[in-house]
């Protein structure tokens, strides 16, 4: 049970309320601690030691609560400016470590902010960012004065929009006999569902006078809340991906995420996965947040049959600007469905030109999704969907490309796929392939010239070429789209994952004009229509995400990540457990000789403060583009450390 005490402004009695609440909780029989991590206006004592005035108020009610701030500055000014004058930079991770260390032995932790919600801590982060990363329930303090209704309602909206719960609203300096004060109080009670606590105008020295008021009005806070994280329910009833339902792998409760950090109930993790490769911009990006909030206040969803909306139009324009060889955008609600759409487009296209081609050619080692059509073009031997081979459509599989991205191209790797084309030319409607990088099928990087030859084969045998860029699109491989390494253009391309920067599910299947022209002949229609097609919320965020990508320095970021991973994953090559190390763009892979034990190695990574999710024999990184150098280096070093310890490996495959 923890609370973050903030205010609508500075100098409104926040410290007074915190100290009174500290006393009330301790008198209620629980051990509480009050901390003010950042304090300006500190005073020098005769021995030269800085004294934090607010901490002195805490000590006046609970003697042992005499813990100096994490950051203490002399000038009574905005924290970022006071720190700047003393050649310091306030760092939120340091504050979080300080809070964790100081509060570990207490039942209740009270954190007092400095000033109001948007008080800057450094050039990029405010007190709100600290509140988000703490993720404590908020107690909002405000003075009952003229203008309080406006400031309180704006503060409440801000806190709610950033995912913070408000435990109580403390109306300070209240006068029950004043008509204006009464009017303010009644309006706030009617227009919010937040518990409202009123405190008369006590003298600052009379903290104990406030205690009975708080004990009476905040009694609901003193009760031990129900377990916020019902992990028993999770284990017994929630089925996580690729997990045994009766004996599931452990899960780690997440309370918040910001930049490239994930905050669990146990601490902070450096994210090396971009949440399955989609959160390239990191978490809690304010521009993306605002795009979602703006659209949410207009409408969150509307059917796309017979209606349209600006977010879909804007996103379509941006996608076609990035992909000038294409002309038609079909939205769907996930990457798997985008693949389904692409396959159906190809099959319906071939039907329209009176050619009964019903087979898809693809390569082994590929992965295209978890729906039935997508599964049918995934690797049927070593892929994760081999159990369903008996019920899936039977397609044609060529060997996976053996020509490594970083070696000379050998045309002999095309021999078998050329034979398959010749043998099945009357059947092959299309080829689907992940360009350059085979993702979940093995994190394999192959030579761009393979795609050039594949394009020629498709042209020769009148087959459509589909590129599945769901994992690789939007800069991940060092090019905006992976197929641009090969300088060829497919007929159809699928995008997803990083399209919305991980904010919500959205995908698109984008095709050249001749596909639309053929299917639309004789008033033909394409037979597909997802319910959540072109969801306005998702489209609004995706459009903003592309705007950020175009305005930003993603190429330099990806090149920086590639350089660091090449240098710092290289030591893994000399370990006897390692089969291969490969890096391309912002993808780094260590392939082992044996499969890892997921549960054990995952626990090791979490203990080390990183989030890396291996599979099979692969430990890989796809970090957010915004990750700092030192944290990326630490991710690489932690992988080396994990492999070095025999106990974190299976004894056999």
**Residues designated as active site:** 242, 367, 468, 497
Tokens for 261, please give them.
Answer: 């950090």
Q: Name 415's Cβ contacts closer than 8 Å, sequence gap at least 6.
A: none
Spacing of C-alpha 188 from chain mean position? 35
Nearest to 108 by CA among 177, 164, 29, 48: 29
Q: What angle do CA 409, 430, 489 make, to 5 degrees?
A: 55
Q: Which residues pair with 200 in a beta bridge?
A: 174
DSSP conformation class of 192 = -
| Burial (CB count within 10 angstroms: exposed 0-12, middle 13-18, buried 19+), residue 372 | middle
Separate counts of helices (H) and strands (E) for the chain: 22, 26
Alpha carbons within 13 angstroms on the beta-carbon side of residue 182 total 4
Length of the chain in terms of residues written: 653
Whether residue 360 contacts residue 344, with contact meaning beta carbons closer than 8 Å, is answered with: no
Please, what's the b/e burial string for 151-170 (b: 16 or more CB within 10 A of its CB; e: otherwise)? bbeebbeebeebebebbbbb
Q: What angle do CA 186, 192, 196 make, to 5 degrees?
A: 60
> CA–CA separation, 80 vs 69, rounded Å?
15
Beta strands 108-112; 428-433: pairing state: unpaired
Q: Name 146's Cβ contacts closer than 8 Å, sequence gap at least 6.
A: 180
Whether residue 477 contacts residue 584, with contact meaning beta carbons closer than 8 Å, is answered with: yes
- Beta-sheet strands, E only, within 570-649: 578-584, 587-592, 610-611, 618-621
> CA–CA separation, 336 vs 481, rounded Å?
18
Please, what's the b/e burial string for 587-597 (b: 16 or more CB within 10 A of its CB; e: otherwise)? bbbbbbeeebb
> CA–CA separation, 474 vs 418, rounded Å?
31
Cα→Cα distances 160→115, 156, 562, Å: 19, 6, 38
Tokens for 469, please give them.
Answer: 């860029």
> CA–CA separation, 403 vs 413, rounded Å?
7
Please, what's the b/e burial string for 127-144 (b: 16 or more CB within 10 A of its CB; e: otherwise)? bbbbbbbbbbbbbbbbbb
Nearest to 10 by CA among 119, 137, 152, 90: 119
> CA–CA separation, 206 vs 192, rounded Å?
30
Q: Name 354's Cβ contacts closer than 8 Å, sequence gap at least 6.
A: none
CA-only gyration radius of the chain, Å: 29
């Amino acid at each position: 049970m923890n609370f973050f005490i903030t205010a609508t402004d500075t100098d409104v009695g926040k410290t007074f309320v915190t100290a009174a609440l500290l006393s009330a909780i301790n008198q209620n029989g629980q051990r509480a601690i009050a901390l003010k991590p950042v304090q300006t206006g500190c005073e020098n004592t005769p021995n030269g030691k800085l004294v934090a005035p607010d901490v002195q108020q805490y000590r006046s009610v609970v003697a042992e609560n005499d813990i100096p701030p994490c950051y203490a500055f002399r000038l009574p000014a905005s924290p970022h400016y006071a720190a700047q004058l003393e050649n310091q930079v306030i760092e939120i991770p340091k504050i979080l470590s300080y809070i964790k260390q100081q509060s570990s032995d207490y039942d209740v932790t009270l954190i007092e902010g400095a000033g109001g919600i948007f008080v800057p801590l450094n050039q990029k982060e405010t007190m709100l960012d600290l509140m988000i990363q703490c993720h404590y329930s908020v107690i909002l303090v405000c003075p009952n004065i003229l203008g309080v209704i406006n400031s309180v309602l704006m503060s409440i909206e801000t806190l709610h929009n950033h995912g913070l719960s408000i435990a109580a609203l403390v109306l300070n300096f209240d006068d029950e006999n004043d008509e204006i004060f009464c009017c303010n109080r009644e309006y706030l009670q009617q227009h919010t569902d937040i518990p409202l606590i009123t405190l008369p105008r006590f003298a600052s020295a009379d903290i104990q006078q406030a205690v009975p008021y708080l004990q009476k009005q905040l009694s609901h806070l003193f009760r031990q809340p129900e377990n916020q994280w019902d992990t028993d329910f999770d284990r017994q009833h929630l089925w996580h991906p690729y997990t045994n339902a009766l004996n599931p792998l452990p899960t780690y409760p997440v309370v918040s995420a910001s930049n490239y950090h994930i905050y669990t109930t146990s601490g902070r993790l450096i994210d090396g996965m971009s949440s399955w490769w989609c959160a390239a911009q990191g978490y809690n990006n304010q521009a993306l947040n605002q795009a979602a909030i703006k659209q949410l206040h207009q409408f969150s969803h509307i059917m796309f049959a017979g209606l349209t909306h600006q977010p879909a139009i804007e996103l379509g324009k941006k996608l076609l600007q990035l992909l000038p060889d294409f002309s038609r955008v079909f939205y769907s609600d996930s990457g798997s469905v985008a693949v389904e759409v692409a396959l159906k487009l190809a099959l319906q296209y071939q039907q329209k030109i009176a050619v009964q081609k019903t087979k898809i050619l693809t390569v082994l080692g590929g992965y295209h999704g978890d729906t039935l059509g997508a599964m049918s073009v995934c690797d049927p031997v070593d892929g994760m969907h081999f159990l369903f081979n008996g019920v899936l459509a039977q397609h044609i599989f060529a060997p996976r490309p053996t020509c490594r991205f970083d070696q000379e191209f050998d045309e002999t790797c095309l021999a078998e796929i050329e034979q398959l084309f010749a043998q099945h030319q009357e059947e092959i409607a299309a080829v689907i392939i992940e360009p350059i990088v085979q993702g979940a099928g093995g994190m394999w990087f192959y030579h761009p010239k393979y795609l050039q030859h594949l394009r020629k084969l498709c042209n020769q045998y009148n087959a459509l070429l589909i590129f599945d860029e769901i994992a690789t699109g939007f800069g991940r491989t060092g090019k905006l789209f992976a197929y641009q390494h090969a300088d060829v253009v497919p007929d159809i391309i699928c995008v997803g994952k990083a399209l919305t920067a991980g904010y919500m599910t959205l995908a698109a299947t984008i095709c050249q004009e001749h596909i639309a022209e053929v299917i639309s002949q004789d008033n033909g229609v394409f037979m597909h229509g997802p319910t959540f097609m072109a969801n306005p919320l998702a489209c609004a965020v995706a459009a903003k995400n592309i705007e950020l990508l175009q305005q930003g320095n993603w190429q330099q970021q990806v090149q920086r990540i590639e350089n660091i991973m090449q240098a710092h994953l290289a030591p893994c090559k000399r370990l006897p457990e390692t089969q291969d190390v490969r890096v391309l763009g912002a993808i780094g892979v260590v392939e082992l000789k044996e499969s890892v034990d997921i549960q054990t190695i995952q626990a090791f990574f979490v203990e080390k403060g990183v989030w890396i999710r291996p599979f099979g024999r692969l430990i890989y990184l796809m970090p957010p583009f915004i990750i700092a150098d030192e944290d990326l280096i630490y991710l690489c070093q932690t992988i080396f450390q994990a492999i070095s310890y025999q106990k974190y490996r299976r004894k056999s495959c």
